[in-house]
Amino acid sequence: MDLVLLGNKLKRYREQFQASHADLAVATGIDEDQLRAFEGGQATPSGDEILILADYYKCDYKFFVSNEKSAPFEQTETLFRLHGNDLSREDRWSIQEFLFLCECEEFLEQVVPQLQRKRFSFVPSGTFYKRHGVECASALRKHLGYRPNEIVPNVYADLRKIGIHVFPRKLANSNISGLFILHPVAGNCVLVNYDEDVYRQRFTAAHEAGHAILDTDAQVVISFAWPAGELREVRANTFAANFLVPPQFLASIPNCDEWDEQKGVQYARMLAVSPVALAVGLKEAGLIDDTTFSVIRNAKVPPEAKEDPELPGSLSPRGRDRKKTLLARGLSDYYVGLCFDAYDQHQLTAGRLTEMMLLSGPNELNELAVLYGRNLQYGG
């Protein structure tokens, strides 16, 4: 074991998450002086101590004891260096836990496959970035079997089909819509800020997918709620708009020269996008003028009218609140289902199941099993 290399990794990881030696000692039970010695390359941690530190940083222990790039260390370091002022300590840990879920999901999809993957790639040509977005969205819709005027019912399922790990996660910084990170093990990973409106979350998922597909030279991209006119952001926005609001559908809307707020709300709900996204799509397609654009843009879809597929009306108020808390931590129905299926097939112990779902212990695991109607067969 290269103690100098190990110490450097430990020190840089601790600094990434703005933790002191005292914080780390409390969380791990390892003495502060011993932690300093590890970071200085002056002491060799035991196998148990390596596992404890890997668990704390939510990464594969092999990252510390080898040269394998088994953790998204460089990606988070780059992200925090470029956007450190925008990311609190809390949000840094949220991002690290999101990446842990992505790695777990990659493993789970191999042991209990539920989706038939349809890998997708697109090579843009020319230098007109908006055209890249339009052509890529059209190619992906065709790849997934959509008709030109068909509405996308579940963007999250579509992204999973093409191998993108997508998770909700609430960030304290509401100015961040989402981010894309290329994980060395899990591949393309997309975080959608659960602090956003449900329609905005859907658009953000598609937007970040645009980065994952088109920005193949990028390891990390963070998107803000009000992005600057940077060309890659324009391209990702154009991709998302054309994937979710296909021009062929817009052209088929009856009486497209007659709009009021009620009609704007009707079609925004149908497409599950904001009236702003609808208005932009219609304007880009040359179907409305500036006056009509303003009418549609200013329409408001009532919050209670926006359906979240993860929160069906059949849930009790308590169950709904509980699921919202879980979603804010990244626990989607799809991921939770994968975890329990792996457990049912004896691919996971109850302890590992608890860890993979970021739960505090057996009591919380039992509560989650009841909420999802699952049984803990053994070791629960």
Convert the pLDDT of each residue in 239-294 to its tens digit: 999 999 999 999 999 998 899 999 999 999 999 999 999 999 999 999 999 999 99
Average pLDDT over residues 106-125: 91
- Give the containing element (helix H, strand E) for 181: strand 176-183
Average pLDDT, the chain: 94
pLDDT of residue 228: 63
Q: What is the DSSP string of 126-176?
A: SS-HHHHHHHHHHHHHHHTT--TT---S-HHHHHHHTT-EEEEE--S-TTE
Is the pLDDT reported for residue 380 higher than 50?
Answer: no
Q: Contact 243/152 with Cβ under 8 angstroms?
A: yes
Lowest mean pLDDT among 109-113, 114-118, 180-184: 114-118
Handedness of CA 267, 270, 276, 281 (dihedral sign): negative
Q: Which residues of 87-126 are buried (b: 16+ CB within 10 A; e: fewer)?
A: beeebbbbbbbbbbbbbbbbbbbeebeeeeeeebebebee
Convert the pLDDT of each residue in 69-97 to its tens digit: 888 999 999 999 999 999 999 999 999 99
Q: What is the DSSP string of 292-324?
A: HHHHHHT----GGG---TTS-TTS-HHHHHHHH
The confidence band for 17, taking pLDDT boundaries of 50, 70 and 90, is very high
**Which residues lie across from 192 on neighbouring strands?**
168, 178
User: pTM for the full model?
Assistant: 0.95
Length of the chain: 380
